[in-house]
């Protein structure tokens, strides 16, 4: 990153957002027309790959740990990153389990939901990921003002997502968690995901507060990176939950 | 930063799109058949029975139409009304094409299912549906020809639906209808010559 200019990195982030938007649009179009589940299963994997690489910088895990000084910041950073990813892997088992339940219980059927709202909250979360990346890049280049601004936007979009899912979708859904299997699956999946979004919002809010106090620098901002990587992880989970709940299959009778 | 993954992702998207539309095109050109095909088709057992209006009906009367034959009885509470209901839905979904099909219910309980009873029963479904009955002696060979087991009280444990083509050949069976999508699509494809 140090070899690229800040504007080119930000530009790349925008390009990735564009690619994710195209992928999401294609996913939505396929769902509305031919609804081939294989296509709807592959597209989230492509989206996840893009986010893993460009937004979550998974390759940083493989950067050689040349620092022999165990007390150095570089060494601790490498260890922290490993720890964060191990947590994300363990967390994904919960989401994976929920996904397996959904596949077993609902198969190629889906609950009756508001398509426009589903797409809207998905777009909100996608844009929030873009701003999260922008916040992290800005901090890495020492642009504190842009960092605060982008992080605030991320946080607001996260809250907007929660309002969309818990405040609108949950209230308008024509079924409850006890109505049928589809209802149970829908509420437990969106509920678990929304809880993670909620914790992400808290995490980002703490980072924002500390950022306003000037605790981070271009060289040392692990908490910023961690909160942003966690935020992207929540977005990646939604990449899979969104088609699983809204797009794949035919409506439950 | 490396732009290669972005290019790869976009290429993958193109592959997914091409595969999706290629698959869709292939499927529409070669529709799958949801019933169990009988290959090669066999001549359907020709019967001559009495309809709900009292007239004598032969299977050969329906040459030129796709005939769906179901065995059941009017006192049946589970499988028969369910299947007849599905067939009614199928009939409605076929729209104008339905004129080229004929649904026939052959009773497995001739003791109770008089032409009048069958007529009253079928009027709950569709006026074009035909209910056939006859004496036990005439019906028994029909049942056995289609592999239908009839118990003493007229109950049958077969819920097979038989599809006879316009030439009078038995071309497919549907073991037990659980929805109308498959059978409707099959008949549409057959009638449109796909």
State the average pLDDT over residues A208-212: 97
Contact assessment for residue B119 and residue B110, using Cβ atoms and an 8 Å cutoff: no
Q: What is the pLDDT of residue B77?
A: 80
Q: What is the pLDDT of residue A138?
A: 95
A1 pLDDT higher than 50: no
Q: What is the pLDDT of residue A40?
A: 95
Nearest Cβ partner for B16 among A8, A9, A42: A42
A2 pLDDT higher than 80: no
State the average pLDDT over residues A106-124: 94
From chain B, the residues in CB contact with A4 under 8 A are 1
Length of chain B: 194
B64 pLDDT higher than 70: yes
CB contact under 8 A, B10 and A19: yes
Closest CA to A118 of A214, A217, A242: A242
A253 pLDDT higher than 80: no
Chains A and B: how many Cβ contacts under 8 Å?
A: 47
From chain B, the residues in CB contact with A53 under 8 A are 5
pTM of the model: 0.74
Q: With 0-12 CB in 10 A as exposed, 13-18 as middle and 19+ as buried, what is A92?
A: middle
CB contact under 8 A, B6 and A16: yes
The string of pLDDT tens digits covering residues A174-207 is 999 999 999 999 999 999 999 999 999 999 999 9
Q: What is the pLDDT of residue A64?
A: 67
Contact assessment for residue A177 and residue A188, using Cβ atoms and an 8 Å cutoff: yes
User: In this structure, what DSSP letter does residue B1 have?
Assistant: -
Mean pLDDT score of chain A, rounded to an integer? 93
Give dist(CA B110, CA B132) in Å, integer: 9
Share of chain B above pLDDT 70, in %: 98
Integer CA distances (angstroms), B171 to A45, A249, B42, B65, B165, in order: 43, 30, 7, 13, 6
Q: Please check whether residue B26 touches A, CB under 8 A.
A: no
Q: What is the pLDDT of residue A6?
A: 86
Closest CA to B104 of B136, B150, B58, B157: B58
Q: Which residues pair with B188 in a beta bridge?
A: none
CB contact under 8 A, A50 and B20: no
Q: What is the pLDDT of residue B194?
A: 61
State the average pLDDT over residues A83-94: 96
Task: Say how far residue B93 (Cα) sits from the centre of its chain.
Answer: 13
* Exposure string over A102-139, b if 16+ CB within 10 A, otherwise e: beeebeeebbebbeebbbbbbbbbbbbbbbbbbbbbbb
Closest CA to B120 of B112, B138, B153: B112
How is residue B185 written in tokens? 């699509």
The string of pLDDT tens digits covering residues A212-252 is 999 999 999 999 999 999 999 999 999 999 999 999 998 88
Q: Please check whether residue B12 touches A, CB under 8 A.
A: yes
Share of chain A above pLDDT 70, in %: 97
Nearest Cβ partner for B16 among A43, A50, A53: A43
Nearest Cβ partner for B6 among A8, A36, A50: A50
Q: Which one has a higher pLDDT value, B85 or B78?
A: B85
Closest CA to A232 of A117, A101, A91: A91
Q: What is the pLDDT of residue B28?
A: 81
Q: Which one has a higher pLDDT value, B159 or A222?
A: A222
CB contact under 8 A, B20 and A9: no
Handedness of CA B129, B150, B41, B56 (dihedral sign): negative
State the average pLDDT over residues B171-191: 88
From chain A, the residues in CB contact with B1 under 8 A are 1, 4, 8-9, 12, 54
How does residue A3 score in pLDDT terms, banded at 50, 70 and 90? low
User: In this structure, what DSSP letter does residue B156 have?
Assistant: B
How close, in Å, is residue A195 to chain B by CA atoms?
A: 30
Q: Please check whether residue B21 touches A, CB under 8 A.
A: yes
Share of chain A above pLDDT 90, in %: 85
Contact assessment for residue A136 and residue A225, using Cβ atoms and an 8 Å cutoff: yes
B22 pLDDT higher than 60: yes
Give dist(CA B165, CA B144) in Å, integer: 20
Closest CA to A164 of A208, A205, A123: A123
How close, in Å, is residue A92 to chain B by CA atoms?
A: 23
Give dist(CA B69, CA B105) in Å, integer: 6
CB contact under 8 A, B9 and A15: no
């Amino acid at each position: 990153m140090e070899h690229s200019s800040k504007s080119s990195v930000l530009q790349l982030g925008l390009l990735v957002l564009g690619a994710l938007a195209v992928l999401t649009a294609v996913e939505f179009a396929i769902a509305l027309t031919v609804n081939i589940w294989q296509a709807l299963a592959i597209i989230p994997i492509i989206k996840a790959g893009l986010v893993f690489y460009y937004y979550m910088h998974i390759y940083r895990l493989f950067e050689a740990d040349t620092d022999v000084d165990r007390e150095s910041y570089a060494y601790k950073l490498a260890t922290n990153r490993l720890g964060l990813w191990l947590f994300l892997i363990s967390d994904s088992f919960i989401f994976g389990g929920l996904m397996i339940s959904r596949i077993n219980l609902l198969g190629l059927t889906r609950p009756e939901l508001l398509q426009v709202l589903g797409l809207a909250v998905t777009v909100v979360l996608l844009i929030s990921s873009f701003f999260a990346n922008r916040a992290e890049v800005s901090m890495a280049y020492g642009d504190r003002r842009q960092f605060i601004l982008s992080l605030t936007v991320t946080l607001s979009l996260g809250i907007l997502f929660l309002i969309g899912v818990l405040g609108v979708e949950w209230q308008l859904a024509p079924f409850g968690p006890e109505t049928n299997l589809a209802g149970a699956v829908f509420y437990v999946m969106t509920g678990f995901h929304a809880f993670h979004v909620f914790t992400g919002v808290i995490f980002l809010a703490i980072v924002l507060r500390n950022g306003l106090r000037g605790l981070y620098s271009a060289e040392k901002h692990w908490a910023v990176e961690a909160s942003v990587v966690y935020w992207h992880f929540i977005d990646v989970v939604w990449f899979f939950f969104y088609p699983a709940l809204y797009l794949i299959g035919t409506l439950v009778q | 930063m490396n732009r290669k993954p972005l290019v790869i992702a976009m290429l993958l998207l193109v592959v997914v799109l091409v595969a999706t539309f290629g698959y869709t095109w292939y499927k529409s050109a070669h529709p799958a058949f949801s019933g169990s095909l009988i290959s090669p088709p066999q001549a359907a057992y020709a019967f001559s029975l009495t309809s709900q209006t009292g007239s004598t009906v032969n299977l050969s009367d329906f040459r030129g139409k796709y005939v769906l034959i179901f065995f059941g009885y009017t006192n049946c509470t589970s499988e028969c009304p369910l299947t007849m209901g599905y067939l009614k839905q199928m009939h409605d979904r076929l729209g104008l094409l339905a004129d080229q099909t004929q649904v026939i219910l052959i009773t497995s309980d001739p003791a109770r299912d008089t032409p009048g009873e069958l007529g009253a029963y079928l009027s709950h479904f569709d006026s074009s549906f035909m209910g056939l009955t006859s004496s036990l002696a005439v019906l028994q060979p029909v049942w056995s020809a289609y592999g239908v087991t009839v118990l003493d009280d007229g109950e049958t444990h077969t819920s097979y639906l038989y599809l006879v083509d316009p030439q009078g050949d038995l071309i497919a069976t549907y073991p037990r209808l659980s929805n109308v999508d498959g059978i409707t699509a099959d008949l549409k494809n057959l009638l449109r010559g796909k």
